[in-house]
Copies of this chain bind each other. A is one copy, B any other.
Amino acid sequence: MRRFVNEKSRNLVNRLVSSSPLSSSHAFQPCASSISSQSRVLSNTSPTPDPSSSSDSMAGSDYSSTPVNIQSINPKVLKCEYAVRGEIVNLAQKLQEELHSNPGSHPFDEIIYCNIGNPQSLGQQPITFFREVLALCDHPSILDKSETQGLFSADSIERAFQILDQIPGRATGAYSHSQGIKGLRDAIASGIEARDGFPANPNDLFLTDGASPAVHMMMQLLISSENDGILCPIPQYPLYSASIALHGGTLVPYYLDEATGWGLETTELKKQLETARSKGVNVRALVVINPGNPTGQVLAEANQKEIVEFCKKERLVLLADEVYQENVYVPDKQFHSFKKVSRSMGYGENDISLVSFQSVSKGFYGECGKRGGYMEVTGFSPEIREQIYKVASVNLCSNISGQILASLVMSPPKVGDESYESFCAEKDAILSSLASRAKTLEKAFNSMEGVSCNRAEGAMYLFPQIHLPKKAIKAAEAVKTAPDAFYARCLLNATGVVVVPGSGFGQVNGTWHFRCTILPQEDKIPDIVARLTEFHKRFMDQYHD
């Protein structure tokens, strides 16, 4: 595979060099900047080192006497794709190394990673209260020292004591209950109740290392073979396609309607469900991402009710990715959890099977590196939940810091707490800045020739459509790459901005998009807008039909 990729890449470069009309200087050449260095990059994009450069002196390139080769591994692994950390990121990492070792080697000073929802990597600061509590729980022996009072807020000290009291033996270094520490689940359940106005049961919660392992767990439970289908939005966050591929199931696509702001139509759901069923696919579940990733829309409550009704009628598990529940940027939209919506319709535990995923990585907290999250599992019989518990037990438990953080996210400081005001100030500053950045980037994209971008209602992304000239599409075809990947690569080489081609998320055939996060810090946005705009203009000028 790697050989194949590299050959493809070399072809790409060769063809670019021989057939493209681009000049050899940096300026005005969005697509071929430093071809020679790109050639080096592309022949070395593998995340693993070239064995010949290994520190192991016995290494070489001949693996013929080792037992594993590409034909002998699990084909499900081969089939799995994950564009968010794919080839474009490898190229970006290489360019970054070149900038470091050879400043001025590219027409930009730094790489700006807009490929992934990773706020703190772009300078977002963690919420102070959360980090205070985590630090105190990591090193509880300082809790009763006088210096600690000077370093930490009073309520963080109090909260750390409370949390430690909930942990058997105060042992933050022990495996917990497989579902997570009971006291922390109690706090999360209270937070869910406060959010929804409906009861939540701590025994319905499974704390996990981020939301991804929770999604895998549900896919593992539901997928027995390729005969089992999962309805997924297109465009989708590729965790879903990857997880379905790894578990050997069938992704049943339903298309979000770009023309109506990435609308989710139940007629489309029904059509795709029937098509899949007519092919003998046993459709098990419906994935809904709300707010949308990569599409950024926030579902209206009426729409959510239709979806709940659809799942109930069609006997589908509703897998609700609600990790962006705090990320809503428009006054006319509001987040409603699917649990709240279904309970408000009168549907209870025995009526609808619903799993809600939440994470500490998103929201205003953005604590991706802490790997905290949970799923709330409702509407499954005790015997099924025993199976979920068993699978959770095999991995023992999720990391305790992530568990603590999940509880903090769902039970932040309250009025009267010492940290309350500073917490609110930090939270509001982050969320209002995200809203403003989303708006600025949305406007910028919509002002570009041949680009249309739906409103950024929520989440952390924009997913503009680029109406590429035929000449650009031909140029991409000539180098055997998808037109949007070609565009993204040209953008990276010209500006240092990393975006993910729409083909990594799925899109209507013949349309081209990319996903760009709204996460660069506010002071960088004007420069990024300028770079994007300038690049796009030149790209369009170059490939004008």
Contact = CB atoms under 8 A, between A and B. Distances in A.
B169 A123 contact: yes
Contact of A386 (B48, B347, B367): B48
B389 A48 contact: yes
B387 A78 contact: yes
Given A74-B221, A175-B368, A370-B399, A169 B121 contact: yes
A49 interface: yes
B148 A139 contact: no
Contacts of A123: 169, 171
Q: Count this chain's copies in the assembly.
A: 2
A77 B139 contact: no
B367 A173 contact: yes
A69 B384 contact: yes
B150 A139 contact: no
Contact of A74 (B204, B220, B361): B220
A352 B350 CA distance: 54
Contacts of A247: 74
A108 interface: no
A267 interface: no
Interface in A201-230: 201, 203-204, 209-210, 212-213, 216, 220-224
Interface stretch (A124-132, A448-456, A475-483, A529-537): A124-132
A146 to B, nearest CB: 9
A101 interface: no
Contacts of A396: 85, 210, 212, 368
Contact of A213 (B139, B150, B395): B395
A452 B58 CA distance: 46
Contacts of A200: 55-56
A175 B369 contact: yes
A220 B399 CA distance: 22
A393 B65 contact: no
Nearest to A150: B147
A416 interface: no
Interface in A295-321: 315-317
A203 B48 contact: yes
Contacts of A350: 51, 58-60, 62-63, 65-66
Q: Which of A62, A178, A399, A400 is the most central at the interface, judged by chain B CB atoms within 10 Å of its CB?
A: A399
A47 B389 contact: yes
Nearest to A49: B203
Given A66-B353, A381-B63, A201 B56 contact: yes
A223 to B, nearest CB: 6
Given A60-B349, A121-B169, A147-B147, A315 B128 contact: no
A58 B398 contact: no
Interface in A366-403: 366-371, 378-387, 389-391, 393-402
A22 interface: no
B210 A121 contact: no
A272 interface: no
A41 to B, nearest CB: 15
Contact of A369 (B63, B119, B172, B198): B172
Given A77-B391, A284-B67, A316-B67, A348 B120 contact: no
Interface string A68-87: 11101111111011101100
A78 B380 CA distance: 15
A215 B385 CA distance: 24
A351 interface: yes
12 contacts: A58-B348, A66-B351, A68-B221, A68-B380, A121-B169, A147-B150, A147-B151, A209-B209, A209-B371, A209-B395, A399-B399, A401-B401
Given A147-B147, A173-B368, A209-B398, 15 more contacts: A47-B386, A54-B203, A63-B381, A65-B350, A68-B317, A80-B394, A120-B171, A120-B173, A122-B169, A123-B169, A209-B209, A368-B396, A371-B400, A399-B399, A399-B401
